Amino acid sequence: MLFNSYAFIFLFLPLVLLGFFQIAKISHIWAAGWLATASLCFYGWWSPAYVALLLASILSNYSLGMWIVKASEVKRKRRILVVAISANLLLLAYYKYANFFLDNLGSLVDVPLILGEIILPLGISFFTFTQIAFLVDTYQGKLKEYNLIHYTLFVTYFPHLIAGPVLHHKEMMPQFARPATYRFNYENLAVGISIFIIGLFKKVIIADGLAVYVAPVFDAPAAGVFPTFVEAWGGVFCYTLQLYFDFSGYSDMAIGLSRMFGVTLPLNFDSPYKSVNIIEFWRRWHMTLSRFLRDYLYIPLGGNRHGKLRRHLNLLATMLLGGLWHGAGWTFVVWGGLHGLYLVINHAWHTLRRSFGQDPSQPVSHLSYALSVLLTFLSVVVAWVFFRATDLHSATVLLSAMFGGNGFELPDHWQPKWGALGDWLATHGASFTPQHGLLPGGAINWIWICLLVVWFAPNTQQIMASFKPALEPVATPAHRLLWRPSLSAALLLWGLGFAAIINLNRQSAFLYFQF
């Protein structure tokens, strides 16, 4: 079941909301059980065969967590933790990486090795990481709540289950234990619906609108077609923006849905393309995954505690594994490695600036700020080529076209429109030729409009700052565009919602569902 589907919006969500608050009048724990059961049904709509796997994972991890709590010796606690984490990682490795590793091993020994088709359980990366964090924090004595129903709800909670955010028990389980969560609140419902509609519009109208320009360009290399300079850049820009609005839309919808139930989620997306460097980008993009990788991988590896070289190696290792978390393929490994390299360069640049007595977090001028945002954005764009490409060959073909490997071919109809500039470009290496038709003309307009929104418009959290939409405080509220109850606001919301709903017939899954 998709958030952007008629069945979810007009059947599942109203029934679950009504049942939750009606049952809560009788018993809070029964209401939590109702919501957990509904979340399992939501999951089962996608993967009925794997509901049992999810339940087994929940019961096993909860039992192991309680075993850690009751163990009297530190060594015994550590042994249980190692076994528990290993079991989770082995389960994830089997479903997500077994054939990838066997295929590569088979290539090395020149013997075909394959287990057959293994269907990836939906959301396994998210619920595995969520429960590993629970186990580690249990070992460290941070666990304050032990209720099995609340734990089941914490793992299965449908607004986050399929594509995040990666939840932390200390953020969620106290909310499930709080009596106020189970009291219906009109403001929570109104704020939740508002944020959900904004996210739905981003997904259905913008992200899905961009999607039609992406596949032809990324599929071209496999068909033996070499995109032109403009087609390659246009297709990659469209994917960059499609992924942005798809993930931003999902994150808004998850926060909005949860708010309807009186539960506040952590922020997972905060205008990452406005970042002035890659360090900031990873503080704004998939924020809860970045937090998990930092707390449960980078810091245990040593973090920055053992010198600059060790820190750089830890960054590279963390990002390589973060890339592999996204998918079993060399394209994801290269994508993670690129971001690891970006981070190493970024930290080295900060060290150099500090040596000159400068504050590395502050650009020296408005021009340097704009150039920093542009450089960071273009670095991310280049890395997205590997993230989206079906294989390394397709990625290298696209990158070659983007950097002039096929010549600087511009659409022939641009030259007369550009006048003297077109003539100058034609005499300085550019050629104006017919394109392959991979990128319809409307794509360029989409790109410019979306870039203006991405760079200059406030995000949903800033607009809704008065209502504290996420657990994290909003650093810079959109004072001129703060959301206030009014007729004009209601009409605008109605318009956004209507536009999205009448286009649900072309529904598509969120891009992060595949991870």
Residues 211 and 84 in one domain: no
Q: 160: which 2 tokens?
A: 């986050």
Q: Are residues 225 and 88 in the same domain?
A: no
Same domain, residue pair 295 and 347: yes
Tell me whether residue 442 is in a domain.
yes
Q: Which of the residues 286, 326, 339, 347 is marked catalytic?
A: 326
Alpha helices in 165-207 (DSSP H): 169-177, 186-201
Interval 436-449: pLDDT, tens: 677 777 888 899 99
Residue 410 lies in a domain: yes
Domain region containing 302: 277-362
**Range picked from 165-174, 269-278, 421-430 for highest mean pLDDT:** 269-278
Q: Is 429 a residue whose pLDDT tops 80? A: no
Query: Which of 362, 386, 420 is at the close of a domain?
Result: 362
Q: What local confidence, expressed as pLDDT, does residue 515 receive?
A: 64
Together in a domain, 150 and 36? yes
Average of per-residue pLDDT values in the chain: 90
| Shared domain check, 299 and 335 | yes
Number of domains in the chain: 3
**pLDDT tens per residue, range 263-296:** 999 999 999 999 999 999 999 999 999 999 999 9
Residue 423 CA, chain-centre distance (Å), reads: 43
- Ranges 261-265, 424-428, 430-434, 479-483, most confident: 261-265
Q: Long-range pairs for 335-340 at CB < 8 Å and ≥24 separation?
A: 335/383, 335/384, 335/386, 335/387, 338/382, 338/383, 338/386, 339/278, 339/282, 339/383, 340/315, 340/316
DSSP-assigned letter for residue 406: T
In a domain, 408, yes or no: yes
User: Where a domain ends, among 184, 214, 231?
Assistant: 184
87 vs 437: which has the higher pLDDT:
87
Burial class (CB in 10 A: 0-12, 13-18, 19+), 413: exposed
Asked if residue 196 and residue 106 are part of one domain, the reply reads no
The Cα–Cα gap between 140 and 122 comes to 29
Whether residues 12 and 90 share a domain: the answer is: yes
pLDDT band at 435 (very low <50, low <70, confident <90, very high): low
Of 303, 338, 362, the position where a domain reaches its end is: 362
Residues 237 and 161 in one domain: no
Q: Is 160 a catalytic residue?
A: no
Q: Is the residue at 384 inside a domain?
A: yes
Report if residue 1 sits inside a domain: no
Among residues 251, 56, 46, 53, which one has the least CA distance to residue 159? 251
In the chain, helix, strand, coil percent, each to 5?
70, 0, 25
How much is the pLDDT for 146?
82
Domain contains 158: yes
Q: Any alpha helices (H) in 51-185, and if so which ranges? A: 51-70, 74-109, 124-139, 148-156, 158-161, 169-177
Residues 271 and 292 in one domain: no
pLDDT at 294: 93
Same-domain check for residues 136 and 92: yes
Residues 244 and 269 in one domain: yes
Tell me, yes or no, whether 58 lies in a domain.
yes
Of residues 180 and 228, the one with the higher pLDDT is 180
pLDDT in tens, 476-491: 776 677 888 888 889 9
| Judgement on whether residues 368 and 503 belong to the same structural domain of the protein | yes
